[in-house]
Amino acid sequence: MTKMIQTVSGKVDPSVLGQTLIHEHVILDLSHIRQDSDPILSDSEMLNNELSHLAKAGCGGIVEVTNRGMGRDVLSLLSVSKKNNIPIVAATGFYKEEYYPSEVFTMSEEEITDLFLKELTEEIEDTGIKAGIISEIGSSLNEITRAEEKVFRAAIQAQKQTGAPLSTHCELGTMGTAQLKLFAKAGSDLSKISIGHQDLNGNREEYVRLLEAGLYIQFDTIGKNNYRPEQERIEDLLFLLDKGYLNQIMLSTDVTKKSYLRVNGGFGYVYLLDNFIPSLQEKGISEKEIHIMTTDNPRRFLAY
């Protein structure tokens, strides 16, 4: 059976995706947690202007990791995907305990698994749109809580039953090794697992441990230079490329606020393409290596 990528518009051949942002939020509402209107992204003129610039800069795919409880709206995703001619992959999942809807605490692992399976194989909330990834399955800062472990186990079961890709959230880059242990213990196909926010980690020994196991890792908060200096991210990336891990690294910006958008004076989704990649090229990273990280790796990871 041919491996395909499930987008909000339907299944597509992997070749349809161009340069892909592997971990983004396009339609989002975290205002109920943060008591702030900045983390609301909607199908607005502002957002579509932003995505129009992104498409012109060469973006050919977005993985939208907003899941249940985060203001997910897959019909709006379909709308912005069509308006801007960018393939978008929607997610099923729950984020981290602080953001869980109350249902998570009463559902069993099996019930959560069944919910994820339904959204992957049938539809999300009577929309006719299927999820194409299990994401962003999150752990808290320096811990995986009991509720989070239940969600991880459910996500693992849904991944094993479908073969779908699964990507995670590591709060400030922590707990990647603990996540790996959960996946390994369950006998997961590690080639379909990607560990998020590792550019916030900076622990090269842990990078190597994760990559040696066969996982992907994401440098996916690019542009958030108040979290970590960009030069440190670049040096870590150069270290990993020198070690031969080119085929297991994917890139993104993790935009979560209106103030992050370029049209509002922020770094914007396009920062990866018009700032970060040129900086890598100045360090001697080739066009081919950039193509592998931004296009080939996402295509291979997302196709099932």
- How many helices (H) and strands (E) in the chain? 13, 13
Q: Mean per-residue pLDDT for 18-39?
A: 95
What is the structure's pLDDT at 12?
98
Identify which of 144, 126, 131 has the alpha carbon closest to the alpha carbon of residue 93. Answer: 131
pTM as predicted: 0.96
**The pLDDT of residue 33 is above 90:** no
* Local structure of residue 261 (DSSP, 8 states): S
Q: Is 90 exceeded by the pLDDT of residue 48?
A: yes
Per residue in 152-162, pLDDT (tens digit) is 999 999 999 99
The residue-averaged pLDDT of 25-44 equals 94
Residues 61-81: tens digit of each pLDDT:
999 999 999 999 999 999 999
Q: Is the pLDDT of residue 112 over 90?
A: yes
Tell me: the pLDDT tens digits for 229-281?
999 999 999 999 999 999 999 999 999 999 999 999 999 999 999 999 999 99
pLDDT at 34 over 90: no
Mean pLDDT (whole number) for 144-173: 98
- Give the SS3 label for residue 150: helix
| Count of CB atoms situated within 10 Å of the CB of 150 | 17
271-301: pLDDT as tens digits: 999 999 999 999 999 999 999 999 999 999 9
Q: Exposed/middle/buried for 282, CB within 10 Å: 0-12, 13-18, 19+? A: exposed
* Domains, in order of start, for the chain: 11-302 (3.20.20.140)
Which residue spans within the chain are E strands per DSSP?
5-7, 10-12, 19-24, 28-29, 40-41, 59-64, 88-89, 91-92, 133-139, 166-170, 193-195, 216-219, 249-251
Structural contact between residues 263 and 53, judged by C-beta atoms closer than 8 angstroms: yes
Closest alpha carbon to 166 in 91, 227, 87 = 91
